A and B are shown apart, each in its own frame.
Chain A
Amino acid sequence: MSVIQALDIGLALLVLAVAGWTIAAREAFASVVGYVAYGLLLSLVWVRLFAVDVALTEAAIGSGVTGVLLISAVVRLRQTEAPAAAERPGVALRVLAGALCAAVAAALATVVLLMPDPGATLAPDAAKHLDELGVGNPITAVLIAYRSFDTMLEKVVLILAVIGVWSLAPDRYWGGAGGPRRVARPEGALAFLAQLLPPLGVVVAIHIVWVGANEPGGAFQGGAILAAMALIVIMARLAEAPEIRGRWLRLTLIAGPAVFLAVGVAGFAIPGSFLAYPAGWAKPLILFIEAFMTLSIAATLPMLVIGPPDRPPRP
């Protein structure tokens, strides 16, 4: 057994141990911390599987944004933690839930173990047409060219999620803003970080979107970094989240899917079918769509984390 294999097995065992601990932890907060650590370890696993794009997304979304969301949920649920622990379900229900989970895990394990080797793959086909598209990263090609319809609908789902969160607002707060309020003189370590980091983060985010055409990276990863910068500034109370009635906010939220849809409809006119790119124009169009999608993702994720508005709109 080589050193690398030993490290891989150690990593797999560590992921399993952290997953087990996350489930077993008694306190919700400890559980969330375990979940974030689990996500970061999982992104190392994706790197070992040479899926760097997935690793970046897992670290940014699976661990980062979801972690912040879960922590704010834990803080809100703190009052209910003791009564919820008292309402423990009966033995029969717990055994049933355990059996169901074990059955699902066993079925998944069977499917994975019975896969043909080498598995069925579309990778050679995906790589064959990269030159015509002008992009070097096959993942970007799959997301924005081969399966562009799915990617567009994903962005629409994100907007639906924001609408879902906003619709939890009481009527009197509709149109207002949520999240921490701005203070006149923010101080402390977080304010320092929030002043120092965003310029760097914006550059890194644009870099990641730009190299996404040829290397790991892309709109989702870059958008997640921009979203993180916005969240740091809001959490440090340097700025407030925008009011949800704001025209610019709403335009930014829908810009990505709208541009995607417009390019798709234009495909009817020029190459002759929905979401088809005219020959020679694929790469500029892909970058154009990605730029607007990055903006939309960068606006969507903070709005999801901030939650529904909790104060009335300013007169």
Chain B
Amino acid sequence: MSVALDIFTIVAISAGAVFFMAGTVGLLRFPDSFTRLHALTKADNLGLGLIVLGLLPQADGLLGALKLVAAWLLVQLAGATVAQLIAHALRRRDPPA
């Protein structure tokens, strides 16, 4: 059982790392600020979600698992808000034609 859980952890965290990598590639390669923002927030939310999912079997009891999930939710909230704020500031600086 524990081997299976360890394999699950490794697979989920690796998948999460791939999403982080995809987000970073998007940040470096996409043509304008809005698409870059999109790549960063979408990929990071999913990547962190997968990493938290992978860490859940290794967590320190139920309370530890809940703390991990709470960290993921808070990061999602912060990430979404910051993305909105940056996009809003960009809109104000260069209004759409």
Name A residues whose Cβ lies closer than 8 Å to a Cβ of B: 188-190, 192-193, 196-197, 200
Contact = CB atoms under 8 A, between A and B. Distances in A.
Contacts of B77: 193, 196-197
Contacts of A192: 81
A107 to B, nearest CB: 38
Interface string B77-97: 110110011001000000000
A190 B78 CA distance: 10
A23 to B, nearest CB: 23
Interface in B27-71: none
Nearest to A193: B81
Contacts of A189: 80-81, 84-85, 88
Q: What bracket does the count of chain B residues touching chain A fall in? A: under 10
15 contacts: A188-B84, A188-B85, A188-B88, A189-B80, A189-B84, A189-B85, A190-B81, A190-B85, A192-B81, A193-B77, A193-B78, A193-B81, A196-B77, A197-B77, A200-B74
Nearest to A192: B81
Contacts of B81: 189-190, 192-193
A193 B79 CA distance: 11
Contacts of A190: 81, 85
Contacts of B74: 200
Given A189-B80, A192-B81, 14 more contacts: A188-B85, A188-B88, A189-B81, A189-B84, A189-B85, A189-B88, A190-B81, A190-B85, A193-B77, A193-B78, A193-B81, A196-B77, A197-B77, A200-B74
B55 to A, nearest CB: 15
Contacts of B88: 188-189
A217 to B, nearest CB: 13
Nearest to B80: A189
A98 B74 CA distance: 42
B40 to A, nearest CB: 14
A188 B91 CA distance: 14
A181 B81 CA distance: 21
A189 B81 CA distance: 5
A291 B80 CA distance: 33
Nearest to B78: A193
A193 B77 CA distance: 8
Q: Which of B80, B81, B85, B88 has the most CB of A within 10 A?
A: B81
Nearest to A201: B74
A193 B83 CA distance: 12
A196 B84 CA distance: 16
B71 to A, nearest CB: 11
Nearest to B87: A189
A196 B74 CA distance: 11
A200 B71 CA distance: 12
B17 to A, nearest CB: 13
A188 B81 CA distance: 9
A303 to B, nearest CB: 24
Contacts of B84: 188-189
Contacts of A196: 77
A188 B85 CA distance: 8
A189 B77 CA distance: 10
Nearest to A194: B81
